[in-house]
Amino acid sequence: MSEIRRAVFPAAGLGTRFLPATKAQPKEMLPLVDKPLIQYAVEEAVASQITNLIIVTGRGKNAIEDHFDVSFELERILEERGKSDLLNLVRAVSDMVHIAYVRQKEALGLGHAILMAEDLVNDEPFAVLLGDDVIESTPPCIRQMIGVHERSRTSVVAIMEVPHEEVGRYGVIQGVPLGDDEGRIFELHDLVEKPEVGKAPSNLAIIGRYILTPGIFAALRATNKGSGGEIQLTDGLKVLLASERVLGYRFRGRRYDAGEKLGFLMATVEFALRNEEFGPAFRTYLKSLKLD
Ligand code: G1P
């Protein structure tokens, strides 16, 4: 049994990068091929033996709760029509896990969203998964990070090299590789949220997977508003660094930035190509397009 039993899914953001699609619908419910974005992160946690999930929602996010709930009407209709395949698909979603919901009343940032989960986290190390980052890997990214945490007992943030001109879109770390696990583990010395290109301490960007010790809550309470006037998790981790070690982990796997339109399209095309049911037909269609 994993020591990390709980995972927090911040899902209260306004989804401004996806307007107008997200005006009346949560970004987390945008379908990537045939599943809403947030389900990919939930399935990653479940595949990593995390069984207690906490979703931080806000106004206009009811569709997320409905999605993971039992839908008696839909199940009855599918049953009556003999659609057992669809019935199994629908049931699998609600059978998946136990989910608790907590609301972030105001969109005051990712760090503030994590603080909302404090009472439910219960003073234990926990995982955080951002649904915008869809990561394909075996073992799952968060499972890899649990392995690092089990050895170090520290907070661990997922990191990835990004092109220098893109660092301003991410939290960026300054750290030193520790030399084990093929140089994937870094001792962090500093973290900066969305630095200007010339001022970034490296091109190692934080990706939306974290293992956090409960010390993060006091650190977040001591964190001032940062980038965008919000309480940033990156800034909270910097405060935590003053009293605890924090490691960076360059995970194995492929990450899709499904939180912005182009990245979402790329993920859609690649996931569709791999789909067992219609991948081959989609490939034939794409090949038929006369692209120069
Ligand atoms: C958030 C974090 C940022 C991180 C990014 C990864 O930013 O604040 O540090 O690099 O997720 O996707 P957001 O994408 O919410 O602006």
pTM for the model stands at 0.94
* Confidence at residue 14, expressed as pLDDT on a 0 to 100 scale: 83
pLDDT in tens, 153-172: 999 999 999 999 999 999 99
Residue 87 has pLDDT above 90, yes or no: no
Residue 2 has pLDDT above 70, yes or no: no
**Is 292 among the domain residues?**
no
Q: Which atom of ligand 1 is found nearest the CA of 207?
A: 6
For residue 171, the CA-to-ligand 1 centroid distance in Å is 6
**Is 41 among the domain residues?**
yes
- Torsion of Cα atoms, 58 then 208 then 272 then 61, to 10°: 0
What single string gives the DSSP state of each residue in 169-215?
GSEEEEEEE-S-GGGTEEEEEEEEES--GGG-S-SEEEEEEEEE-TH
Residue 102, strand partner residues? 56
pLDDT in tens, 190-205: 999 999 999 999 999 9
**Residue identifier of the C-alpha nearest atom 7 of ligand 1:** 170
**Is 102 among the domain residues?**
yes
Q: Buried b / exposed e across 172-186, counting CB within 10 Å, b at 16+?
A: bbebeeeeeeeebbb
For residue 28, the CA-to-ligand 1 centroid distance in Å is 15
Q: CA-to-CA distance for 172 and 178, rounded, in angstroms? A: 18
Residue 236 has pLDDT above 70, yes or no: yes
**Is 275 among the domain residues?**
yes
Residue 1 has pLDDT above 70, yes or no: no
**Is 91 among the domain residues?**
yes
234 lines ligand 1 (CB under 6 A): yes
Residue 91 lies in domain: 6-287
pLDDT in tens, 242-292: 999 999 999 999 999 999 999 999 999 999 999 999 999 999 999 999 887
232 lines ligand 1 (CB under 6 A): yes
**Is 50 among the domain residues?**
yes
For residue 249, the CA-to-ligand 1 centroid distance in Å is 16
Say if residues 128 and 34 touch (Cβ distance below 8 Å).
Answer: no
Domain tally for the chain? Answer: 1
Instruction: Please report, for the domain that includes residue 129, its CATH number.
Output: 3.90.550.10
Q: What is the mean pLDDT of the chain?
A: 93
Q: Which atom of ligand 1 is found nearest the CA of 234?
A: 9
Say if residues 229 and 111 touch (Cβ distance below 8 Å).
Answer: no
Residue 22 has pLDDT above 70, yes or no: yes
**Is 1 among the domain residues?**
no
**Is 265 among the domain residues?**
yes
For residue 16, the CA-to-ligand 1 centroid distance in Å is 14
